[in-house]
Structure 1
Amino acid sequence: MTHAAHPFDALMNITARPQAVFVRGEGAYLWDDAGKRYLDFMQGWAVNCLGHSPTVVAEALAAQAKLLLTPSPAFYNGPSLKLAQALVEKSCFDQVFFANSGAEANEGAIKLARKYGAKYKNGAFEIITFEGGFHGRTLATMSASGKKAFEPLFEPKVSGFRKAKLNDLDSVKALISDNTVAVMLEPIQGEAGVWPATDQFLRELRALTQEHGLLLIVDEIQTGMGRTGKLFHYEHAGIEPDIMTLGKGIGGGVPLAALLATEHVSCFEHGDQGGTFNGNPLMCAAGLAVLEEVSKPEFLKAAADAGLFLESELQKLSARHGLGEVRGRGLLLALDLKLPIGAAIVAEALADGVLINSPQPDALRFMPALNVTREEISLMVDCLDAILVKAGAARRVA
């Protein structure tokens, strides 16, 4: 029997990580075990919507932890009932199933759609998803994803997912058959490099699915909870989907996710769906604190305004350095670098105490806390500007 020689070695090696060990976070900042401070524009991949260790979440967790952690999902508990009711009141959906992760919520959405197909559409089971889409890391959600790197992994994966092209309605129409039960997409494809579905495409897609009696599933794990300036992204297009999934921001830093559906679509029977920790009061108390904060009109407006400022500053940066477009909406944005230099910029920024993300080699992604300040945005942009100047990564234009 061998033992890990270094604490790092005890963790399964599933991704490259820098040597920094983070020990504390507050708002827009993280501190490592050497005392170095980092300005965080990743926030756990759009998870910490109120920043690191927000007071409202910490207090909700502390208060609930003294009352009840979990009574088992076989019983009702107060926080899950309150959070479900609040989500229903603030959305176009009627019922909620809580989960622990976005992948689990998406897995639930896939199961619910297939149950609907079995019950109402002669066993239809195929779900049309999109090239470039990312829905999680379970076998079914990897199968639903349109990520090229996933294609050779863990075969055989789950069948029944056909891939259309984002913003191409004809590509969706071409895949519809008697076996089709639903269409599933991210309103903005985050992992692919922040590629948005247009509002017009979402409206046309909703009309198409209704015409064919298909369910429309929106994966709002990254776009939901105020990330794009409205509580849920589907509101921008003025549509009402049949199913929505939430994750990341809904917990504000704790593992919480949700599957929402209209009453007609909510056709699970007893025993079809469950999970030991699903809807536990501790996580739901945190989610309720987050939702109460994020859904305030003044909070959403401030987040939308911060997004416009970040977008403007990134556009100026792009113009100065001869880079590409700024994509996305609200506080989920990407900068097209035109060259595969993302990883090098991320590493340099880390050394300079700023955390950013490169989901694709030629793009940077920005997912700050929704309460990020203009000063914090300017600090990040100044850091990026200095890196681009120093690296000579792109020409400077007048």
Structure 2
Amino acid sequence: MSFQTLVEQTEIHPEGNSASSTPFDADSFNEVVMSTYGRFPLALERGSGCRVWDTQGKEYLDFVAGIATCTLGHAHPAMVAAVNRQIQKLHHVSNLYYIPEQGELAKWIVDHSCADRVFFCNSGAEANEAAIKLARKYAHTVLDIANPIILTANASFHGRTLATITATGQPKYQKHFDPLVPGFHYVPYNDIAAVEAAVTELDEGNYRVGAILIEPLQGEGGVRPGDVAYFQKLRQLCDEIGILLMFDEVQVGMGRSGKLWGYEHLGVEPDVFTSAKGLGGGIPIGAMMAKKFCDVFQPGEHASTFGGNPFVCGVALSVCQTLEKENILENVQEQGAHLREGLKMIARKYPDHISEVRGWGLINGMEIKADSQLTAADVVKAAMDEGLLLVPAGLKVVRFVPPLIVTDTDINQALQVVEKVMVKVTA
């Protein structure tokens, strides 16, 4: 059943071409909101499916989806119904009590993954914080490591908290926030020799590697998929020395890759993995999943006031169930292949500017050549002018992460805009 049919059946009628009665004032906004974002000059106020409208009534095709977050697009009837149902029933209680919706969501995740246990929080950064704490306790109590080190990859991204920006292997996110949290070491992505060397070199005195935290596909690092052989050797190495292998699936998980979890592309299972973004379809929720053997947390050692409350879990469960009910993973695979092929055709027309198109499912990157004067931001800004929303992944990669319900028509429209934009920006 199409998204539009569902909308019509549930009497959701977004007024896509009507502008706000109150003009948006960016200057007033900037007076009261901290300038922690480099915002584009665009104020959005409504959405339906894969489209959003700004305060002037202009329509945009949304291939950002809240940066790989709006799994079912905007105003999906299943989410609208879940929000209405849950907010009228019970929206928040303390985790001091059992929360049935939390148990249902955890069971769905466990039934559909390699995990045995789930901890809920509010975001990807918090999920990764939980994984870091779990790894440290496991290293201290099980591996008897006095000063455990967690290996992460160069060009990775794991969040904005102090521990997760330290885990993030990109100095630009760490600048001016030192002293950083000790206990992290960086290695090149997809380079098993570098990992093996680090494990050996860091085994000194009371220090030893206790875990590896890595993305199956690097999102902010330029949409770089993991190499299958590399990840299989990582799994073998972790098994041999008894350390935890942890995957950050915040961006790539929940069907974004064409499979439910990114690790399914790599032929290995992590001991711990994290999720957020697409899990709630735009409702703030994060989760850390672990196998039973490394679930070493005890009551009082980790918590989250809002994590796993009835509202977010009820809505997230509706997202999970809709992925299955509407066979959305099949759509992700088909439309992802369609998008990549179209982008590769465009790339062949601009060999002096585009070096590669890569990705999984509906997380794809178009890399601009290092010696080209173009930047990803140039393409993104020009596309916005033409009614297509895209997002950079670093200086030279344009990222395409539409809602997972995207259609052939949407993909074709996006490709037409990208081709038009390339003509403009390379003139």
- Aligned to 1:245, the other structure's residue is in SS state strand
CA deviation after TM superposition for structure 1 residue 359, in Å? 1.6
1:317-336 superposed matches below 5 A: 317-322=346-351, 323-336=354-367
Distance 2:85 2:221 in 1: 39
CA distance in 2, matches of 1:298, 1:49: 13
- 1:86 matched to 2:131: no
Please state whether the residue corresponding to 1:30 is helix, strand or coil: strand
Shift of residue 7, structure 1, vs aligned partner = 2.8
Paired letter, 1:298: N
Q: Does 1:108 align with 2:130?
A: yes
Aligned partner of 2:368 in structure 1 is 337
User: Pick from 157, 160, 167: which aligns with 1:134?
Assistant: 157
Q: Distance in 1 between matches of 2:384 and 2:157?
A: 26
Is residue 120–residue 304 contact of structure 2 (8 Å, CA) maintained in 1? no
- Equivalent residue number for residue 98 of structure 1: 120
Report the counterpart of residue 175 of structure 1 in structure 2: 198
The residue type equivalent to 1:229 in the other structure is G
Contact 1:98 1:256 in 2 (8 A): yes
Match of 1:285 in 2: 314
**In the alignment, residue 365 of structure 1 is paired with which amino acid?**
R
Corresponding residue of 1:396: none
- The one-letter code of the counterpart of 1:384 is V
Superimposed CA distance per residue, residues 72-111 of structure 1 (whole angstroms, 9 cap, x where no aligned partner): 1111111101000110011111000001000000000000
Query: Do 2:115 and 2:291's aligned partners in 1 also have CA atoms closer than 8 Å?
Result: yes
Q: What is the TM-score with the length of structure 2 in the denominator? A: 0.89
Q: TM-score, normalised by structure 1?
A: 0.95
Partner AA of 1:359 in structure 2: A
- Which amino acid letter does the alignment assign opposite residue 281 of structure 2? G
Structure 1 match to 2:399 = 365
Residue 416 of structure 2: aligned partner: 382
Cα distance in 2 for partners of 1:125, 1:76 equals: 34
Report the Cα offset of residue 289 of structure 1. Answer: 0.6
The residue that corresponds to 2:258 in the other structure is 229
* Contact 2:139 2:210 survives alignment (8 Å): yes
What's 2:9 paired with?
none
Segments of 4+ in structure 1 off by > 3 A? none
Does structure 2 conserve the Cα–Cα contact (< 8 Å) formed by 1:127 and 1:183? Answer: yes
Structure 2 CA distance for aligned equivalents of residues 35 and 185 of structure 1 = 41
**Deviations 1:283-318 (CA, angstroms, capped at 9, x unpaired):** 001110111122458321121111111110010010
CA contact (8 A) 1:169 1:201 kept: yes
Paired residues, number: 390
**Which residue does 1:37 correspond to in 2?**
59
In structure 1, what is the Cα distance between the partners aligned to 2:267 and 2:426? 44
Identity of aligned residues (%): 38
Q: Retained in 1: the 8 A contact 2:382–2:425? A: no
**What is residue 268 of structure 2 aligned with on the other side?**
239
CA distance in 1, matches of 2:156, 2:344: 25
SS in 2 for 1:125: strand
Q: Which amino acid counterpart does residue 106 of structure 1 have in structure 2?
A: N
Structure 1 residue 184: Cα displacement: 0.7
CA offset digits 1:32-57 (Å, max 9, x no partner) = 11101110100000000111121111
Q: Which residue of 2 aligns with 1:144?
A: 167
Superposition RMSD on alpha carbons, in Å? 1.4
Question: Using the alignment, how far apart are the partners of 2:378 and 2:50 within structure 1?
Answer: 23
1:203 maps to what in 2?
Answer: 232
Distance 1:202 1:297, change over 3 A: farther
The SS at the match of 1:291 is helix
User: Partner letter of residue 352 of structure 1?
Assistant: E
Distance in 1 (CA, whole Å) between partners of 2:93 and 2:408 is 43
Q: Structure 2: which 5+ runs fail to align?
A: 1-25
Q: 1:125 aligns with which of 111, 123, 148?
A: 148
Preserved contact between residue 226 and residue 295 of structure 1 (Cα < 8 Å): no
CA offset at residue 194 of structure 1?
A: 0.7
Aligned to 1:302: 331
Offset, 1:5: 6.5
Please state if 1:347 is matched with 2:370. no
Q: State the shift of 1:275 in Å.
A: 1.1
Residue 19 (structure 1) aligns with: 41
- Which moved further from structure 2: 308-317 or 353-362? 353-362
Cα distance in structure 1, aligned partners of 2:425 and 2:115: 49
Query: Structure 1 residues 23, 251: CA separation in 2 closer, same or farther (over 3 Å shift)?
Result: same
Separation in 1 of the partners of 2:252 and 2:425? 32
Match of 2:98 in 1: 76
Q: Once the 2 structures are TM-superposed, how far is the Cα of residue 153 of structure 1 from its aligned partner?
A: 2.7
Corresponding residue number in structure 2 for 1:46: 68
1:165 offset after TM fit, Å? 0.9
Measured after TM superposition, the shift of residue 6 of structure 1 is 1.4
Q: Does 1:163 align with 2:189?
A: no
Matched, 1:213 2:242: yes
SS of the residue 2:292 aligns to: coil
SS in 2 for 1:264: helix
Structure 1, unaligned runs of 5 or more: 394-398
Please say if residues 231 and 295 of structure 1, whose CA atoms lie closer than 8 Å, have aligned partners that are also in contact: no
**Partner AA of 2:381 in structure 1:** A
